[in-house]
Amino acid sequence: MLITAFAVTFMASATGGELKTSYFGATKPGAWARYLGVTKDGSRMEYTYKRLADEDGRARMELGTRILAGPGKGSEFKNLYVLAPGFDFAKNALSYGKFVEKMSMQVGDAAPMPQPAEMVAIIRDSGSDFRGAVTFQAAETVDGHACDRYACAARSGGNFPTTTSGQLWLDAKVPFGIVRQLAKIAQ
């Protein structure tokens, strides 16, 4: 399913609460969503999120990135994630990085490269945590989707902590829930 674009810029905001409903129930194995990311400098990336079949009771997903404009133009890579046992897409999809248990990376057509536990720990520690970091603002229609708009200010940890703030437009009927996102990432 091709969803609308989101822009990535750089900002900060106040913290919030929880989502008023589950927006990720449509993210079943086999579901996918594609987003266009545009940065302030004009770089453009296409992101494809795929929910893969579970492995040994653990949710799996793939994030493919294709750089359309800017540094690295023409590059393609994928990250394959196995999430912790009990990970619930319906509740924690926005914060999936905090639940990564195993990961492999694939550049172009090369074979996937499993990442060592140390790298997985860095990914997990640096993932943004949207739990408790959103504030409902309004119901709106975006590109024909009935959405709820939230302000967000999600912190990440690790050696280079950041705050991802901005707005999210969510629709429970679409895979991965996000219809549009405007975000600013600041250290």
Q: Note the pLDDT of residue 91.
A: 84
> What is the pTM assigned to this prediction?
0.85
> Which residues are CB-neighbours of 121 under 8 A, at least 6 positions away?
none
Q: Note the pLDDT of residue 17.
A: 79
Q: Note the pLDDT of residue 187.
A: 80
C-alpha to C-alpha distance for 64 and 107, rounded to whole angstroms: 10
Q: Note the pLDDT of residue 3.
A: 41
> Quick one: tokens of 144?
């024909």
Q: Going residue by residue through the chain, which has 187 residues, state the pLDDT in tens, using 9 for 90 and above.
A: 434 344 433 333 333 578 989 999 889 999 999 999 999 999 999 999 999 999 999 999 999 999 999 999 999 999 999 999 989 888 889 999 999 999 999 998 899 999 999 999 999 999 888 988 999 999 999 999 999 999 999 888 888 888 889 999 999 999 999 999 999 888 8
Q: Which helix (H) or strand (E) holds 53?
A: strand 44-55
Query: For residue 104, how many C-alpha atoms fall within 13 Å in the half-sphere facing its CB?
Result: 8
Q: Note the pLDDT of residue 90.
A: 83
* Cβ–Cβ under 8 Å, residues 140 and 23: no
Q: Is residue 124 classed exposed, middle or buried when 0-12, 13-18 and 19+ CB atoms within 10 A define those classes?
A: middle
C-alpha to C-alpha distance for 97 and 178, rounded to whole angstroms: 16
* 178-186, strands of its sheet edge to edge: 113-114, 100-107, 76-83, 58-69, 44-55, 32-39, 6-9, 178-186, 163-170, 145-155, 134-142
C-alpha to C-alpha distance for 30 and 53, rounded to whole angstroms: 7
Q: Note the pLDDT of residue 16.
A: 57
